[in-house]
Chain A
Amino acid sequence: MTGIYIHVPFCAKKCPYCDFYSVPYRKATAEAYVQAVIRNLKHYQNPDTVDSIYFGGGTPSLLSVKQISDILETCSTNFKLDSMTEITLEHNPTRTDRNYLYELRKAGVNRLSIGTQSFSDTQLKLLGRTHTAKQNLETVQNAFQAGFYHISCDLMLALPYQTEQVLTETLKILTSLPIQHVSAYLLQMEENTPFYTSPEILDNLPDDDTSADRYLQTVQMLEKAGFYQYEVSSFAKSGFESKHNLKYWYCQDYLGIGAGAHSCIKNRRFYVPKEIENFCQNPVQEEITISENACNSEEKLMLALRTSRGVPLSALQPEAQKKLAILIKNDYIKLKENNYIAMTPKGFAVSNAVTAMLI
């Protein structure tokens, strides 16, 4: 089984907290880019069944339905897909348009990941988002009515002014929507972003304890609403885990197409340089190898520890096993019936440190 990741590095506007590479949307560039994607899809041979296709960004919903449909058609001619293949598109809720969503569904997209981030207008404004809470609601409802039965919403945590009440309010709305999946991210301050130097943001950032409280509050409220935590930042109703997302943590193959896209195929990790012009011009995308022995035992451990499935006890070095008792006693790790260990929510909140102790 292989996943295909298609990177769409265009944004209508750059969010002030985001340090990912993106360029302003231009119709002509986007078209050239889509052609290059199609060219590359034809280049790669893969006999495996493709069980997920993921349009990530950037803002993939800036592409036209036709463009997405062309890409998907290339995929289906060139690779082995089946009716279960998860096809996700990241969607910016600035575009609530039911017709667009309906067309997308018809083109084959069956999972929508909506960048809602918050259901408080004050918080959305602070984040520099171009949509309101009302547009979030409309987009989710329209998607549902357009036939999307697998919808994920993004949620940002540890924001300035995000009190317990503010977050509770957002979570209440979120969990009452017809969605099956939530991706909840703690805000991370990145250098070279406007947030990094904004006095308003810096002065009002929650401290680590508050951030951890918000995170655990989220875990708890989502759990109550039937979304169980299957990874540090991912929550789903049973059976609605993102196949694509899990590939990253279970060390499964994924092929990345597009400027800046990452791949991991047969223990080789590589990426494509992020410059769009080169990607559009090259007949085949350039591959820069990061590692030839990806998915070694250490890497597997590091990645799998991000999931609630965890790792088998036997995967740990004897030295690490000795440290388990104290980690379990302090409620960072739990021992499961099948002799797997996994982090608790409290453990996920400090997962860097816990992982470092076990590797």
Chain B
Amino acid sequence: MNSANIRNFCIIAHIDHGKSTLADRILEKTKTVAQRDMEQQILDNMDLERERGITIKARAVRLNYQANDGQTYIFNLIDTPGHVDFNYEVSRSLAACEGAILIVDASQGIEAQTLANTYLAIEHDLEVVPVVNKIDLPSAQPEKVCQEVEDIIGIPAMDAPRISAKLGTNIEEVLERIVTDIPAPKGEVSAPLKALIFDSYYDSYKGVIIYVRVKEGAVRVGDTIRLMATGSEFTVTETGYMTTDQLVNTGTLEAGEVGYIAASIKSIGDTQVGDTVTLAENPCSEALPGYRKVNPMVFSGIYPADGAKYGDLRDALEKLQLNDAALSFEPETSVALGFGFRCGFLGLLHMEIIQERLEREYNLDLITTAPSVIYKVTLTDGTVQYIDNPTNYPDPSVLASAEEPMVKADILVPSEFVGNVMDLCQDRRGTFKDMQYLDDTRVTLKYELPLNEIVYDFFDALKSRTRGYASFDYELMGYAPSKLVKLDILLNGEIVDALSFIVHADKAYGRARKIAEKLKENIPRQLFEVPIQAAVGGKIIARETVKAMRKDVLAKCYGGDITRKKKLLEKQKEGKKRMRQLGTVEVPQEAFMSVLKLDE
């Protein structure tokens, strides 16, 4: 196929603006999927993705389109995750395209991720094709939204297709725009191979399957490829393109095309997104720009609720990691929770998704510790340490200074809630940077915030203070000095390591009180009184007490029927297994989880 007839594009949008629905319609209109197989959101094939209505992993699919000019075109649709946690994956997906369809909701207008993703697309020199979706809604204002796109983003939009992906209205217009507005790929087939890895997954038969965009040259079955970041080499066993449900081995892939390569690669760690694939015999002189290793930003301890399931948890994490190189984990032990893993995530959503997949797909019952970021501490002897586990935070006596990661946050909010959002950001130690009115009803606020303040419950708090109308996006901006302390929680006088966390000195007192209250609510009364204390550097700053239980008795065992008494005893024994025994104190799983949600 002549590369002039290839169009490589992605769809970008704020969450819920209809990205996956438009993708479905495009597949349907190009007959890529028969109507009867049509299931909502074809590209999101993880259960979790479908339920949450978000795309977690990028997907790619090839379609054929018979355009109005009489010619047949190959479309490569590359689906991208919409969420900021997966920003790097988004940016790699964009690098595989020449154009992007920008969907804007006709009633919601531009939102935080609309802007973030559009700027990302423009940075990658993509042709941005605006589309206004959901015109079937009574509250739709397509004219206003088009004007907004022109005013705020600065791209022509007055003639943007007005569509309803849900009802299938005007989808043809979008398809024609892809042909006319998005440029065909460039690239020399005879040049040395240069292909960008934009996604990969593990297949238990074929090994790692990498998704690539060939920028220059060609790759064939039997070629020895080299992955430039690691230098590792493999022999291509299959190459071709992807349909919605299978891989089609064509034996060759050329400049301008999007497809897959299988080469018996054993570990997904070898095939990092953003890396360049070339040929071992005739390598290209330099790799494609922009590759970086993705590093986890948020850490938390994950423990099996039942200690005996440690091995199952390890197996599950290993399996998840096969398809998710961004997930990191290493064994750790906690006095309170036993054996578990310290896991690293790209962000909060990533963390939640991993936890949910572990519980759902692997049927594990988990206890998760409070999420932590990586603190940079300098000791009095001048050594610098990076701390991702509060338990390892150095003693104040040897601590010279501490720094914490900061983020640049963009918050888009209806003007009536600006005050609430400012309050929240101030409360979370934010520094106000800028405020702009997008129009007379919507404001964009820019704040610098410590990452540590948003990893807990910032997003929930933001939603509840704006009745769900605010949208939020952030990017990491480096470290800043901070006055941090380690807050310890003591039960019956003993420090519970799994409950320790790092907090800004000014907020320690309030946080301590809230945690003590939450624990009191969630630790059931037991035979002995349980004092709950919160301490900073040995000084108690908050305390609560769970009073001893007074009544737990089965009064009647009627007519010699002791079965009930026995059942009760069995139940109690079973219940004890689900509790964590810390000295004489029994702590239920819920108590550990309750301290993660303090804003309720």
Using Cβ atoms and an 8 Å threshold, which residues of chain B touch A261?
559
> In this assembly, does A12 line the interface, its C-beta being within 8 Å of a C-beta of chain B?
no
Residues of A within 8 A of B550 (CB): 208-209, 211-213, 349-350
* Chain A residue, CB-CB nearest to B529: A330
Closest chain-A Cβ to B479's Cβ sits at a distance in Å of 48
Which residues from chain B contact A327 at a C-beta distance below 8 Å?
A: 527
B572 within 8 A of A: yes
User: Quick check: is A357 within 8 A (CB to CB) of the other chain?
Assistant: yes
Task: Give chain A interface residues in 299-320, CB to chain B under 8 Å.
Answer: 299, 302-303
- Cβ contact within 8 Å between B556 and A353: no
Q: A211-B551, A326-B584, A349-B553 are in contact. Are A355 and B569 (CB under 8 A)?
A: yes
Whole-angstrom distance between the Cβ of B552 and the nearest chain A Cβ: 4
Tell me if A74 is interfacial: C-beta within 8 Å of chain B. no
User: Is the C-beta of A108 less than 8 angstroms from some C-beta in chain B?
Assistant: no
In the complex, the answer to whether B561 meets A186 with C-beta atoms within 8 Å is no
Interface presence of A280 (CB below 8 A): no
A262, A348, A351: which contacts B561 (Cβ < 8 A)?
A: A262
Instruction: List the A side residues contacting B554 at CB < 8 Å.
Output: 188, 351-352
A256 on the B face (CB < 8 A):
yes
Using an 8 Å CB-CB cutoff, how does the interface string of B525-551 with A read, 1 for contact, 0 for none?
111100000000000000000001111
B559 contacts A256, CB within 8 Å?
Answer: yes
Contact of A302 among B526, B548, B561, B566 (CB under 8 A): B566
Contact B551 A7 (CB under 8 A): no
**Which residues of chain B from 490 to 548 have a CB within 8 Å of any chain A CB?**
525-528, 548
Partner of A56, one of B559, B562, B563, B573: B559
Contact between A20 and B558, CB atoms less than 8 A apart: yes
Contact call B572/A262, Cβ cutoff below 8 A: no
Interface: A215 (CB within 8 A) = yes
Query: Which partner residue on chain B sits nearest A255 by CB separation?
Result: B560
Is B4 interfacial (CB-CB < 8 Å)?
Answer: no
CB-CB < 8 A to A20: which residues of B? 558
Complex contact B573–A232 (CB within 8 A): no
Complex Cα–Cα for A302 and B557 (A): 13
Answer yes or no: B568 CB below 8 A from chain A CBs.
Answer: yes
Least CB distance, A179 to chain B, in whole angstroms: 20
Q: Does A247 contact B (CB under 8 A)?
A: yes
Across the interface, which residues of B come within 8 angstroms of A350, CB to CB?
A: 527, 549-553
A residues contacting the other copy or chain, number (CB 8 A) = 46
Does B186 belong to the interface (CB within 8 Å)?
no
The answer to whether B565 touches A302 (Cβ under 8 A) is yes
* Distance from A143 Cβ to chain B, minimum over Cβ atoms (Å): 22
With contacts A303-B562, A356-B572 taken as known, whether A185 is within 8 angstroms of B555 at the C-beta atoms is: yes
Residues in A238-293 with C-beta less than 8 Å from chain B: 247-248, 254, 256, 260-264, 269, 271, 290
Q: Does B576 contact A (CB under 8 A)?
A: yes
Contact A353 B559 (CB under 8 A): no
Q: Within the assembled complex, what's the spacing in Å between the Cα atoms of A121 and B557? A: 27
Does A1 make an interface contact (CB < 8 A)? no
Docked complex Cα distance between A230 and B561 (Å): 19
For B547, the closest partner residue in chain A by CB is: A209
Chain A residues whose CB sits within 8 angstroms of the CB of B569 once the complex forms: 302, 352, 355-356, 359
Query: A144 at interface (Cβ–Cβ under 8 A)?
Result: no
The interface residues of chain B lying within 8 Å CB-to-CB of A330 are 527-528, 548
Chain B residues with CB below 8 A from A353, complex form: 526-527, 549, 552, 572
Question: From residue B558, how far is it (CB to closest CB) to chain A in Å?
Answer: 7
**Max chain B Cβ within 10 angstroms of own Cβ: one of A233, A256, A260, A352:** A352
> When A350-B527, A354-B527, A355-B569 are in contact, do A233 and B556 touch as well, CB less than 8 Å?
yes
Tell me the residues in window 208-238 of chain A with beta carbons closer than 8 Å to chain B beta carbons: 208-209, 211-213, 215, 232-233
A248–B528 Cα gap in the complex (Å)?
30
- For the complex, give the distance between the alpha carbons of A290 and B561 in Å: 11
User: Of A7, A185, A348, which contacts B559 at CB under 8 A?
Assistant: A7
Q: Which residues of A contact B584 (CB under 8 A)?
A: 326
Say whether B560 contacts A186, CB under 8 Å. no
Closest Cβ of chain B to A322, distance in Å, is 11
Residue contact A262 to B559, C-beta cutoff 8 Å: yes
Interface of chain B residues 289 through 346 with chain A (CB within 8 A): none
Complex Cα–Cα for A20 and B566 (A): 18
Asked if A254 and B560 sit within 8 Å, CB to CB, the answer is yes
Residues on A with beta carbons closer than 8 Å to the beta carbon of B559 = 5, 7, 56, 256, 260-262
What's the Cα separation between A260 and B553 when bound, in Å?
24
* Smallest Cβ-Cβ distance to B527: which chain A residue: A353
Q: Which residues from 175 to 228 on chain A have a C-beta closer than 8 Å to any C-beta of chain B?
A: 185-186, 188, 208-209, 211-213, 215
B551 touches A208 (CB 8 A): yes
For residue A339, give the distance in angstroms from its CB to the closest CB of chain B. 23
Partner of A212, one of B551, B557, B572: B551
A211 to B553, CA, bound (A): 11
Interface residues of A in 81-129 (CB under 8 A from B): none
Q: Is the CB of B572 within 8 A of A232?
A: no
State in angstroms the CA–CA spacing of A350 and B568 once bound together.
Answer: 13
- Answer yes or no: A332 CB below 8 A from chain B CBs: yes
9 contacts between A and B (CB under 8 A): A7-B559, A186-B555, A212-B550, A260-B559, A263-B560, A349-B550, A351-B553, A352-B568, A353-B552
User: 17 additional contacts, CB 8 Å, given A349-B550, A356-B573?
Assistant: A56-B558, A188-B555, A208-B550, A208-B551, A213-B550, A233-B556, A269-B562, A299-B562, A330-B548, A332-B527, A348-B553, A349-B553, A352-B568, A353-B549, A355-B569, A356-B572, A356-B576
User: What is A's interface to B at a CB cutoff of 8 Å?
Assistant: 5, 7, 20, 56, 158, 185-186, 188, 208-209, 211-213, 215, 232-233, 247-248, 254, 256, 260-264, 269, 271, 290, 299, 302-303, 326-327, 330, 332, 348-357, 359
